[in-house]
Amino acid sequence: MTTTFFANARLIDPVALTDGIGALLIEGDKIAAVGEGIQQPKDAKVVDCGGYCLAPGIIDIGVKVSEPGERHKESFRSAGMAAAAGGVTTIVTRPDTLPAIDTPETLEFVERRAQLDAPVHVLPMAALTKGRAGREMTEIGFLQDAGAVAFTDCDRVVTDTKVFSRALTYARSLDALVIGHVQEPGLSEGAAVTSGKFASLRGLPGVSPLAERMALDRDISLLEMTGARYHVDQITTARALPALERAKRNGLQITAGIGVHHLTLNELDVADYRTFFKLKPPLRSEDDRLAVVTALAEGLIDIISSMHTPQDEESKRLPFEEAASGAVGLETLLPAALRLYHSEVIDLPRLFRALSRNPARLLGLPAGRLNEGAPADLVVFDPDAPFQLDRTQLLSKSKNTPFDGARMQGKVLGTWVAGTRIWGQP
């Protein structure tokens, strides 16, 4: 059994919400001891953290890996290496592939590819309806038995309320997690930006922020009716927050996430039609951004994710309205999230509660904590290391990041999965 001793570490504990110097011992693939005054075993491999941060590995929900169907955009190998470089030890993959992951056979193919090629843990989600078409629900029980950790149609909203309510009812009977995208589809169709003065000045089709609240209100009503477990992939507007708060206060099984791009960018970053900033939902106003940052700091929004969506050059080098939506984010998730820490709106333990502990709790995983017996999925990083991002150096096959050329802080020095180092110098 391999023994590794992390000395002189700044331990970031998202459970106890502590941040202090100590040591951590790994035996095999588990954490054996953590804290101050731990004795170093004679036969242990020593990692001197040099006072840098040691935290649970990031669990990223909503990663698109383009297998099957669009392997030229992203493969499990390239996504896995990008995740390792970004301190992400578990990726939870979306089913919006070609074809959609809506049968046990397709799901098993994904699991085999991931196990062969990815150095990080890969947990697949499956489609909620067949072909993500919103007409007939998938075999949720069979897919759950085959390894699906959640069910979602991603950005295709199930418009048939009866189909959606039946799917939620069936999911509740199996204690299956459903993940929804709260954008009213009629209002959102064809939109490229958030409506307002900026959209008008640029002559771009916009969508009202109320489209998010309208969709959330509908889904909350269905949760009251069915009692299902439900996670909103992204809450991005101030107007949706009161409804989320009421739903939680009323005891519904609802949690919410947000993509790191919506936490750190706003609608003005689109500037002169820069398509790397075209996302779904679109970037919001600065007032909305500040509101969701506050909601995250207060715990109303539970989870930060990258919403990693690789797009090739051909689909982005188009007029803004025609360009594909989405951005890669596995390698930029941590430094982008650290902008919130450097601006002093959230401390590191609470940041890692949203990056690691809360995703683990949502999915019923033992990870996301620095406790004895927890999985040895860890990241060592320097939160203050400055760098300028060069998108050509990203390990993802696709390079569509809005942070190209941006000055950022925070570098991953090492990533461990199940006690084995998968990134950084030995």
Q: Are 384 and 51 in contact (CB under 8 A)?
A: no
Residues contacting residue 192 through CB under 8 Å, at least 6 positions apart: 204, 205, 206, 278, 282, 320, 321
pLDDT at position 37, please?
84
**Distances from the Cα of 252 to the Cα of 56, 237, 420, angstroms:** 28, 21, 39
What average pLDDT does this structure show over 381-392?
A: 97
Q: What angle do CA 224, 229, 232 make, to 5 degrees?
A: 90
Residues of the chain with CATH 2.30.40.10: 3-53+376-390+407-423
Q: At 17, give phi and psi (nearest 5°).
A: 60, 45
pLDDT at position 1, please?
78
**Distances from the Cα of 356 to the Cα of 10, 36, 87, 236, angstroms:** 17, 23, 11, 20
Q: Are 67 and 75 in contact (CB under 8 A)?
A: yes
pLDDT at 377 over 90: yes
As a whole-number percent, the residues of the chain with pLDDT over 90 amount to 96
What average pLDDT does this structure show over 352-367?
A: 98
* Token pair for 70: 């669009």
What average pLDDT does this structure show over 92-107?
A: 97
pLDDT at 425 over 90: no
Q: Are 408 and 331 in contact (CB under 8 A)?
A: no
As a whole-number percent, the residues of the chain with pLDDT over 70 amount to 100
Residues contacting residue 302 through CB under 8 Å, at least 6 positions apart: 255, 256, 257, 354, 358, 362
Q: If you classify domain 3-53+376-390+407-423 with CATH, what class do you get?
A: mainly beta
pLDDT at 191 over 90: yes
Determine the residue type at 346: I
pLDDT at position 323, please?
96
CA distance 154 to 131: 11
Helix (H) or strand (E) holding 201: helix 197-202
Q: Are 37 and 24 in contact (CB under 8 A)?
A: no
% helix, strand, coil for the chain, step of 5: 35, 25, 40
- What are the pLDDT digits (tens) for 32-89? 999 988 989 989 999 999 999 999 999 999 999 999 999 999 999 999 999 999 999 9
CATH architecture, domain 57-363: Alpha-Beta Barrel (3.20)
Residues of the chain with CATH 3.20.20.140: 57-363
- What are the pLDDT digits (tens) for 236-271? 999 999 999 999 999 999 999 999 999 999 999 999
Q: Mean pLDDT in the chain?
A: 96
**Distances from the Cα of 139 to the Cα of 102, 162, 174, 201, angstroms:** 8, 17, 12, 47
pLDDT at 426 over 80: no
pTM of the model: 0.96
What average pLDDT does this structure show over 227-243?
A: 98
Residues contacting residue 408 through CB under 8 Å, at least 6 positions apart: 332, 335, 336, 338, 339, 386, 387, 388, 389
- What are the pLDDT digits (tens) for 389-412? 999 999 999 999 999 999 999 999
